[in-house]
Structure 1
């Protein structure tokens, strides 16, 4: 009986339009989450697809030995394309000259992503058997030979490599690279039992294949094996992709928060509208169980309809937006399963948990409300409502992002918004307490309206403030990310690096470059050294620490050290002062954190079999994303100038001056030239795509926020119609009512703007320090712009929504009531 009544109840209210608000809210919630998730997944897959060209594959397993064939069988079963690269160092001979080289042996299919760039253009295929492709500087180091020997084999140097897709950005790579066929490795005789080699197993496929492969394989890797993707390491592209992915995740988390706010407000309004219905049913003898079933089924039907509509519109939104995306992004089509599941979960979980408290209040409505309509249920269990709301938001956020810090930031932001609404918002609304119903002053009438609808306005403030917080947070992060990327890759960024400049070559190199470029950059001296002690305690490698040996963790390799008289431009002092005393050293913050170093600690290095002790004078923040020479340790000249060193410098050369590099190599054949122009161009292309992504997500959030604001103005139309009828009866003019209504909404918007600035600054502080690692600063213009913009936006929106009521006559308003 209750089920049948619920169905009839649902049909009647649906056709009469009384369910539109909550259906609209649920649809909006599912639409926002599904649409944002679909679009962000597409953008994320596209960005990773473009960025994967920097590692020549989608995923890589790095291992010091051949991996278990069972792992490769998993890749085959997942449908992944695969190949592998073998890397090892060997000596190359040409006549009486020799040079240490890094050999990269590849098999058919390499590279899976990207292209090999030769001096003659893009490579077609791989080197032929018995021939090598070689890095340009090798020819200069060996006096331009036609053939070289590696181990027992003789090879023809057939083509110069200008760039490998997975070459990375290692300015201090001392060995030139040669590329050979995998089949030629055996005849060199170089690889023997115990030889130090690196296997790079490369895989490519679509997102679902890669995810399935990763879930199965990563747990099977041992400690000597490493899983690599585009976000691995500290390369410029890795950090750009990480931050882009974090931004997209954050946008969807904020979309979830927006959805929860919309559904919570709509559920509150839904239950309030049915107070009289429950009182009447109780009067007619309906049991508590019947009423629970009636409204549970009714709410389930409403939620189901909203979820279905939201999913259809969310998927449609993704399809429409893909028509306007660049072709390289639109060509990627990730699975819709995840956005659909997330949208469904958002609709069902948030509708259930956000409506639990309003539904409990609805079911406790006393039958006497039929006679005394001002009666409501007891205001109990608010702590339960708060707990369920936060649980719903946190659960959905963590299920989507898998990032605890980001999810907690969103939850804490919501908590702060609630506290401010309680302490500040309600207080400001109560400022109109002593103002009566004088109809001669629009401001007084607006303040009186705020006082009379204090509870309803407090609820509306939640929606308006949430919408503004979303806009301010997303806008600020987008701007900060784009500005940082622009600073890292300015238009005049260096595109060439000169490495291994001998001391006797420094002046000649500077004089040569001075003829062709406006300003010759400063040379950085480079000295190799090993950290051996910290505060007199011998350092251990990571493997020794993991094996249980006691001692301070150190760095298990030699470091590239330099000296500087002034702090590099792309560095920032976090603690202490830059080198002032002869034995001072400045340490990069990441190394300082990993080794638990602090200002005042003593470090001991071994350089050229000599011991050097220095004191940490400062901790530096280094922007590794900059394509600039960067160092973990910067010493003073007094400490390092007596040691043998080479130098490194970077400079910019326009594309039409390539002959300058040719002339430089002829004059200084042992100097290594690293061309990063192609890398910069590709990195800029990816950042441009990220910029499109950030702008697109911002647009979606603006749309969702606007829809929530529109839904908020709908909530109070019934009570506002009654008030307008009364005021019209007492002779209030249309002009007065329009101004009073506009001012009332404008005051709400102003308060929402103040709250939004407070909450946005708080959330941005947490996000920048805990997630994005960006510089924190106050957005002072917001403190004036946000409240005024909120007042104008909400005021105009309220007037637009109330336009019909304001144009009605007194009799029309009374008939409508």
Structure 2
């Protein structure tokens, strides 16, 4: 379907093409066709995106991002073509003059050149971006975890088991882990206004409003939390109906500082005032909570306990002893989950390799199609240059200069945009520091500057090796 839609403008043009024009081989690619002819193709691509993304919002966002990327690449490519042409315009050296001829061809076929640059830039941007995400961002996230980050979580610990649980660690020569209370509560009202899943439009807010929360208490704010609004309580505030909320939860449920929250705790009503809003670093692998109260505020309510701790690989059997001693415990093996994540990442790496190959083949296909579409014009240009006394080397340099410039513009834009997107992903989604990867960027630039001119030369070398007389006879 995509192929037929893409072919439609050309099939439509064939109907009005005179037969004598084809016999005389005077057919040229007309890039100034009405862009409305490509509207069905654009609509089909958007429909395919909606089908794959399952939501109209995401499909439109991806489509808008793709269009914006194409526009940015097109504008930058246009500017770089004119800049390269002006830098080389006033040279009189024979070899540099050959380069100027290549850049002149680039400017003369500006629409086709920009189309090639957009295709190459998008493909190379995907390759560079996936390389950065696969090797750089994931490694940075993994390395950001402390060496002794908790690799086991225990839940459903009962109050009468706390001392025995902590003594088990001390007997093993380890420090007793910190335990945290968990009180199951459901949010039922904000400022005396009943709330539920139907109150919100956002999907995350709907889920949060329909689920139970784990309330906890703490005298001091955890070291990996950051206070954004309000104040943390003082020792004399113990027992007061205060609560500190995590910022994303407060934002999703539209909760502000000073609001009163009404909870239902197993049939017992509980009203708390929001006195602070925190930023929580969830990726530290330590126990954190959406809602925390001062000590003695909710400790009279039914509660269970949880703990997070690090178990060295040599003491793995200690976890089995814990489960045997406390059969009601649920142990979550974070280390095993991390291994599964690494296995998934390895499989993703294989998938990324196929994406690399597909992007490379797509780029070469675009290059081949562009060369075939302009082959007759290139043969005439080469013949004219050879008749006027240009050597085979000068013609080759002119051709290589054209595609070297295409490769340079395309890969430079691709590397810059890929690093910008990678920076956004690291800062906004993964919340980790971004480091510019010189090796990946340099490798992409070198490969593009070598492979694209080489591929063009392999396609066009047949007429470069022909003498001028033979070229004249073939026109």
Give the TM-score normalised by the residue count of structure 2.
0.73
- Can you list the C-alpha shifts for 1:212-250, whole angstroms capped at 9, x where unaligned? xxxxxxxxxxxxxxxxxxxxxxxxxxxxxxxxxxxxxxx
Q: Which residue among 285, 296, 310 is the counterpart of 1:652?
A: 310
| Distance (whole Å) between structure 1 residues aligned to residue 143 and residue 56 of structure 2 | 30
Q: Which runs of 5+ in 1 are unaligned?
A: 1-348, 546-552
Q: Which residue among 55, 69, 72 is the counterpart of 1:417?
A: 69
- Can you list the C-alpha shifts for 1:22-46, whole angstroms capped at 9, x where unaligned? xxxxxxxxxxxxxxxxxxxxxxxxx
1:713 to 2:372 alignment:
no
1:399 to 2:399 alignment:
no
| Distance (whole Å) between structure 2 residues aligned to residue 805 and residue 664 of structure 1 | 78
CA shift in 2, pair 1:811/1:515, >3 Å: farther
Equivalent positions of 1:298-377 (< 5 A) are 349-365=1-17, 373=26
The answer on whether the counterparts of 1:589 and 1:622 sit within 8 Å (CA) in structure 2 is no
Specify the alignment match of 2:380 in structure 1.
Answer: 722
Specify the alignment match of 1:703 in structure 2.
Answer: 357
The answer on whether the counterparts of 2:244 and 2:275 sit within 8 Å (CA) in structure 1 is yes
| Distance (whole Å) between structure 2 residues aligned to residue 445 and residue 564 of structure 1 | 75
Q: How far 1:391 sits from its partner (Å)? A: 0.7
Q: Which residue among 403, 406, 418 is the counterpart of 1:745?
A: 403
Q: Which residue among 42, 50, 60 is the counterpart of 1:390?
A: 42
CA shift in 2, pair 1:696/1:798, >3 Å: same
Q: Which residue among 213, 221, 226 is the counterpart of 1:566?
A: 221
Aligned to 2:215, what secondary structure does the other structure show?
strand
CA shift in 2, pair 1:649/1:590, >3 Å: same
Equivalent positions of 1:173-322 (< 5 A) are none
Q: How far 1:789 sits from its partner (Å)? A: 4.8
1:381 to 2:39 alignment:
no
The answer on whether the counterparts of 2:187 and 2:261 sit within 8 Å (CA) in structure 1 is yes
Q: How far 1:748 sits from its partner (Å)? A: 0.7
1:447 to 2:103 alignment:
yes
Equivalent positions of 1:717-796 (< 5 A) are 718=375, 719-757=377-415, 760=418, 774-775=430-431, 780-781=436-437, 785=442, 789-796=447-454
Q: How far 1:394 sits from its partner (Å)? A: 1.0
Aligned to 2:220, what secondary structure does the other structure show?
coil
Specify the alignment match of 1:580 in structure 2.
Answer: 232
Specify the alignment match of 2:112 in structure 1.
Answer: 456
| Distance (whole Å) between structure 2 residues aligned to residue 764 and residue 658 of structure 1 | 37
Aligned to 1:749, what secondary structure does the other structure show?
helix
| Distance (whole Å) between structure 2 residues aligned to residue 509 and residue 485 of structure 1 | 32
Structure with more of its chain in helix, by fraction: 2
1:797 to 2:455 alignment:
yes
Aligned to 1:614, what secondary structure does the other structure show?
strand
The answer on whether the counterparts of 1:528 and 1:560 sit within 8 Å (CA) in structure 2 is yes
Aligned to 2:287, what secondary structure does the other structure show?
coil
| Distance (whole Å) between structure 1 residues aligned to residue 120 and residue 460 of structure 2 | 17
Aligned to 1:716, what secondary structure does the other structure show?
helix
CA shift in 2, pair 1:555/1:723, >3 Å: closer
The answer on whether the counterparts of 1:586 and 1:635 sit within 8 Å (CA) in structure 2 is yes
- Can you list the C-alpha shifts for 1:251-274, whole angstroms capped at 9, x where unaligned? xxxxxxxxxxxxxxxxxxxxxxxx
The answer on whether the counterparts of 1:499 and 1:671 sit within 8 Å (CA) in structure 2 is no
| Distance (whole Å) between structure 2 residues aligned to residue 803 and residue 372 of structure 1 | 21
CA shift in 2, pair 1:684/1:699, >3 Å: same
Specify the alignment match of 2:204 in structure 1.
Answer: none
| Distance (whole Å) between structure 2 residues aligned to residue 664 and residue 694 of structure 1 | 36
Q: Which residue among 488, 494, 516 is the counterpart of 2:172?
A: 516
RMSD: 4.7
Equivalent positions of 1:141-180 (< 5 A) are none
- Can you list the C-alpha shifts for 1:591-632, whole angstroms capped at 9, x where unaligned? 435533234433355789796533252254564x88653422
The answer on whether the counterparts of 2:215 and 2:292 sit within 8 Å (CA) in structure 1 is no
1:502 to 2:156 alignment:
no
CA shift in 2, pair 1:812/1:578, >3 Å: farther
The answer on whether the counterparts of 1:578 and 1:618 sit within 8 Å (CA) in structure 2 is yes
| Distance (whole Å) between structure 1 residues aligned to residue 459 and residue 352 of structure 2 | 25
The answer on whether the counterparts of 1:435 and 1:447 sit within 8 Å (CA) in structure 2 is no
Q: How far 1:647 sits from its partner (Å)? A: 4.4
Q: How far 1:367 sits from its partner (Å)? A: 8.1
| Distance (whole Å) between structure 1 residues aligned to residue 199 and residue 45 of structure 2 | 44
Specify the alignment match of 1:601 in structure 2.
Answer: 259
The answer on whether the counterparts of 2:132 and 2:437 sit within 8 Å (CA) in structure 1 is no
What is the number of residues matched between the two proteins?
449
The answer on whether the counterparts of 1:469 and 1:756 sit within 8 Å (CA) in structure 2 is yes
| Distance (whole Å) between structure 2 residues aligned to residue 500 and residue 708 of structure 1 | 57
CA shift in 2, pair 1:813/1:463, >3 Å: farther
| Distance (whole Å) between structure 2 residues aligned to residue 606 and residue 502 of structure 1 | 22
CA shift in 2, pair 1:377/1:649, >3 Å: closer
- Can you list the C-alpha shifts for 1:498-524, whole angstroms capped at 9, x where unaligned? 653638944x65454245355544332
Aligned to 2:5, what secondary structure does the other structure show?
helix
Aligned to 1:617, what secondary structure does the other structure show?
strand
Specify the alignment match of 1:614 in structure 2.
Answer: 273
Specify the alignment match of 1:201 in structure 2.
Answer: none
